[in-house]
Amino acid sequence: MTDVELAKKRGEDHLKDTLPAIKKTFVYEDTAYHLPISFALTGTAVHDLNTARDVFSKTGNNPIVASECLLAEKTATQGKEPAPYTGFIGDTVIRKLGYSLVDGSILGLALVIGSPDSPGAAAAICRELQEKYMLTFLAGPVIPTLSDNGVKLGLEYRLIPLGSTPAYGIHFVDIIARVAMMFGGVTPGDAHRLLAYAAERAKAIVIVFPGLSDDEIALVDGMRVLGFPILSLGDYSGGAWIAAEADTIVRKGMEAKGIRVNVTAIPIPMGCSPAFEGKSIRKEEMYVEFGGGRSTAFELLRMRPVGEVKDGQVEVIGPEINSMKEGSANPLGIIIEVAGKTMKKDYEPVLERRIHNFVNYGEGSWHVAQRDLIWVRLSKEAVAKGVKIEHLGKLLASKFRMDFPQLLDAVSVTLITDPAKVADARKEAEQIYDERDARIKGMRDNDVNTYYSCTLCQTFAPNHVCVITPERPALCGAISWLDGKIAYEISPSGANQPVEKGTVLNAQNGEFEGVNRFVRKASHGEVDRCSLYSVMEYPMTCCGCFEAIALMLPEVNGIMVVNREFKGITPSGMTFSTLAGTIGGGAQTPGFAGISKNYILSDRFLQGEGGIERLVWMPSPLKDELKNRLVQKLVEKGLGDFFDKIADETKAMTIEELMVYLEKVGHPALAMKPLV
């Protein structure tokens, strides 16, 4: 057992002692970066003992710096090693390699170093790295071990043999230093930036076999400061080196560095494309179905800690398709488990909704509804082609990884078809659904400091931006505060951006300093102030896709609402269409506000004007649509009889008729503070 900490210390001391023995000058041909590592760290071109000593002390006696200088002198003295060893690689080739890193044809870099006990294990590791689009550099006796066992080496195989001893592993670091300077905008001498680049952008891992000297251990351990995880197969203990087995070491390394292989193909015997989304599977066409009232079925997506999900794993618990009778209804539980460094519990329902789309992309699969109301079918045609239940799982696992490459590192799918197990799992799922509902229901504007904006309709209204709060959804009705938050976290440069509330300027109107600042910028200076809860003063701008319009009726001191579907004239004297034409396009029109239908149920609706009692008129179909939920809210507020005082087109069509009606029922708005 080699103690890494002790060996490292000995190695560092030894390097420090050996450095002064440098006699000759040294220079690498074909590079503009001198000794790249010391050049990147200090800006000094090192070619002799003096400069070497200089940078060594400047970098706090760094073992990597020492190793670089020593190997450079050795190369100058003894000459380059013969083929297949590459030794130092010139800039032209490095530029090409860097190019492949940036364009994604290479996912990352690996250094494999040391003397493997088992040639087979070494070969397997290299093969796995190749399959996962890693560019692998080799240093030490691992090289002859591989070539003696028939493994082909060279740039074209992405297995590059640097040198005969592990010390040549230093070239791995000088390559990364050069990539940082060529592509990463790192200026020579900016050590801080170099370290940041190496840690964040360079996807590099180190795999260590036994047989490293103390110097070499110091060198390898020194790479940790660059953010490279060190994984070891040898008997090294201690330090921060991660011990692993040969069959998991590559996966562990890539996970540790967040390197993910992109999924491009879906390995199932049926087509999968958005083109199939609308295709339904009729009763005569189906082989088997799940749920839909005929059997128990549910779906659930859950987040798990990174490392606990085996990417691509699909398990079917219970009978497979060949045990199911044609035309039968069977129980099904679809459980998707996902892991990702940036994944959050909040995103579960958003991702879960995608199960519906993905299953429908399958040429022979069909899906309807969500949660424990799902109805799924597989067609006879698909089953005849060999499609099984597990293929449904493979489809889901692949699509989730393909569509969320940044968010999800690993996706695994369990499909339960055993009736008892489905029933149990469903009970658990229902608890989770309830928890989620409870979380969203109670959200209040005052609970959060950040609202979210949406600029999706700016194509039609250049200066418009919606500000979405928990109690006020977007005026198109499609996006809630949670949707905006999740969209932002998943695509930070997308259409939804955070809006810091800032100080409260007017609580009743919902005017906030941060919101004002945001709106001013987003409207290019056109709009100065925005009150989130007011229709009369600085209401939010409107694009054109609002579901309804709330507007003032000064004659009756109230606010009316008309929705898009209502085609008739309103007591304002205008139709929805006329109103929409005037207030849309990004204008801020005091007295008029575009809203979503559900906002009418919010406590914040008309808060600026004194509350829901301002509402004097609404088209009757809209009244019906909202009736149950609205009445419930009104009762909670102690306004049980208010609903019937809201007029509609059957009670009043003109302003004069409305005035008469409101007086007759004793509508509260008549007695409230004057609107105008």
Partner 1 sequence: MVSDAQFGWSGTIGEVFLGATKAEGGTRRVSYRIGGGTTLPFLEKETSSPSPLIAFELCDYPLFWSPIIRNYCGDLVNNLEEWTKTADTTYKADLIRLHLNSTRQRNFTDIPAVGKTVETILSASSLPLIIEGSNEPKIDSEVFQRCGETGQGERLLLGTAEASHYRSIAAAALAYNHSLIAQSPIDVNLAKQLNILLKEIGVPRDHIIIDPYTGALGYGFEYSYSAMERIRFAALKGDMDLAMPLICSAADTLNIKEVREANPAVQDAVAVSWEFYTGIAAAAAGAEIICVRHPKTIGMLRQAFASLKARAGPAGVQ
Partner 2 sequence: MVLKALDIYKLLPKKNCKECGDPTCLTFAMKLAGGKADVDLCPYLDEQAKSVLGATTRPPIRLVKVGVGVRSFKIGEETVLYRHEKTFYHPPAIIFRVSDTQTDAEIAAVTRRVRDETFTRVGTDLRFSGIAIENTSGSAETFARAVAAVEHEQAHLPPVLIAKDPAALSAALVHCGSYRPLLHSATAENYKEMCALARKHGCPLVIRAQTLDGLIQLVKDCTTEGVQDLLLDPAPENLGAFVIRSTLIRQLAITRSVPELGYPVYLDASSTGQQDAALVLGIVKYASVIVTSPLAPGPAKATLTLRQNIYTDPQKPIQMNPGLYRVGNPDKDAPVLMTVNFSLTFFTLEGYLESSRVPCFMLIVDTEGLSVLTAVAAGKLSETLVRDSLKKFGVENEVTHRKLIIPGYASPLSGRIEEATGWKVLVGPRDAAEIGEFLHEEWQKQD
What are the residues binding partner 2 (CB under 8 A)? Answer: 274-280, 460, 462, 536, 544, 552-555, 569, 572-574, 582, 585, 589-592, 654-656, 676
* Residue 37 Cβ vs partner 1, minimum distance, rounded to whole Å: 20
Report whether 667 contacts 555 (CB < 8 A).
no
**Among partner 2, partner 1, none, what does residue 591 contact (CB within 5–8 Å per kind)?**
partner 2
**Among partner 1, partner 2, none, what does residue 274 contact (CB within 5–8 Å per kind)?**
partner 2
**Among partner 1, partner 2, none, what does residue 275 contact (CB within 5–8 Å per kind)?**
partner 2
Amino acid at 421: K
105 interacts with partner 1 by CB under 8 A: yes
Among candidate residues 355, 368, 580, 572, the one with its CA nearest the CA of residue 461 = 580
- Stretch of 176-184, 247-255, 429-437, 603-611 contacting partner 1, by CB under 8 A: 176-184
- Stretch of 9-17, 46-54, 98-106, 280-288 contacting partner 1, by CB under 8 A: 98-106
* Residue 279 Cβ vs partner 2, minimum distance, rounded to whole Å: 5
User: Tokens 């073992």 identify what position?
Assistant: 63
Tokens standing for residue 13: 């001391």
**Among partner 1, partner 2, none, what does residue 554 contact (CB within 5–8 Å per kind)?**
partner 2
Single residue of 93, 244, 432, 495 touching partner 1 by CB under 8 A: 495
95 interacts with partner 1 by CB under 8 A: yes
Single residue of 23, 24, 80, 96 touching partner 1 by CB under 8 A: 96
Please identify, using beta-carbon distances, which residue of 36 and 364 lies nearer to partner 1: 36
List of residues 6+ apart from 409 with CB closer than 8 A: 255, 258, 260, 306, 309, 311, 339, 340, 341
* Residue 85 Cβ vs partner 2, minimum distance, rounded to whole Å: 49
d(CA 111, CA 115): 13
Please identify, using beta-carbon distances, which residue of 84 and 227 lies nearer to partner 1: 227
* Residue 358 Cβ vs partner 1, minimum distance, rounded to whole Å: 20
Cα distance from N-terminal residue to C-terminal residue, the chain: 86
Q: Which of residues 185-244 bind partner 1 (CB under 8 A)?
A: 185, 201
DSSP label at residue 41? H
Report whether 363 contacts 272 (CB < 8 A).
yes
User: Which residues in 542-614 belong to E strands, given as ranges?
Assistant: 548-553, 558-563, 592-595
DSSP one-letter string for 556-605: GTEEEEEETT--S--TTS--HHHHHHHH-TT---TTEEEE-GGGGGSTTT
* Residue 459 Cβ vs partner 1, minimum distance, rounded to whole Å: 6
* Sheet of 498-500, strand order: 466-468, 450-454, 498-500
182 interacts with partner 1 by CB under 8 A: yes
Secondary structure of residue 477 in the 3-state scheme:
coil
d(CA 123, CA 137): 13
Please identify, using beta-carbon distances, which residue of 50 and 491 lies nearer to partner 1: 491
455 interacts with partner 1 by CB under 8 A: yes
Secondary structure of residue 17 in the 3-state scheme:
helix
Q: Which of residues 42-81 bind partner 1 (CB under 8 A)?
A: none
Single residue of 493, 503, 628, 650 touching partner 1 by CB under 8 A: 493
Among candidate residues 327, 329, 416, the one with its CA nearest the CA of residue 380 = 327
Single residue of 99, 375, 433, 643 touching partner 1 by CB under 8 A: 99
Number of C-beta neighbours around residue 160 at 10 A? 25
* Residue 300 Cβ vs partner 2, minimum distance, rounded to whole Å: 24
* Residue 362 Cβ vs partner 2, minimum distance, rounded to whole Å: 13
d(CA 537, CA 606): 11
List of residues 6+ apart from 604 with CB closer than 8 A: 445, 469, 471, 472, 510, 532, 533
Single residue of 184, 239, 333, 539 touching partner 1 by CB under 8 A: 184
Give the length of the chain.
Answer: 676
638 interacts with partner 1 by CB under 8 A: no
DSSP one-letter string for 630-643: HHHHHHHTT-TTSG
* Residue 559 Cβ vs partner 2, minimum distance, rounded to whole Å: 12
* Residue 617 Cβ vs partner 2, minimum distance, rounded to whole Å: 13
**Among partner 1, partner 2, none, what does residue 235 contact (CB within 5–8 Å per kind)?**
none
Single residue of 63, 98, 114, 668 touching partner 1 by CB under 8 A: 98
**Among partner 1, partner 2, none, what does residue 585 contact (CB within 5–8 Å per kind)?**
partner 2
**Among partner 2, partner 1, none, what does residue 21 contact (CB within 5–8 Å per kind)?**
none
Single residue of 115, 164, 458, 589 touching partner 1 by CB under 8 A: 458
Secondary structure of residue 527 in the 3-state scheme:
coil
Tokens standing for residue 71: 């190997």
Single residue of 210, 227, 292, 462 touching partner 1 by CB under 8 A: 462
Phi-psi region of 258 (alpha: psi -120 to 50; beta: other; left: phi over 0): left
* Residue 522 Cβ vs partner 1, minimum distance, rounded to whole Å: 10
Please identify, using beta-carbon distances, which residue of 74 and 520 lies nearer to partner 1: 520
Phi, psi of 211 (to 5 degrees): 95, 20
Among candidate residues 172, 143, 33, the one with its CA nearest the CA of residue 81 = 143
Among candidate residues 192, 226, 219, the one with its CA nearest the CA of residue 68 = 219
Single residue of 32, 102, 275, 373 touching partner 1 by CB under 8 A: 102
Report whether 48 contacts 42 (CB < 8 A).
no
DSSP one-letter string for 62-107: -HHHHHHHHHHHHHHHH-PPPTT---SPPHHHHHHHHHHHHHTSS-
Please identify, using beta-carbon distances, which residue of 95 and 345 lies nearer to partner 1: 95
* Residue 204 Cβ vs partner 1, minimum distance, rounded to whole Å: 17
d(CA 288, CA 641): 52
Residues interacting with partner 1, by CB under 8 A?
A: 95-96, 98-105, 182-185, 201, 455-456, 458-459, 462, 493-495, 524-525
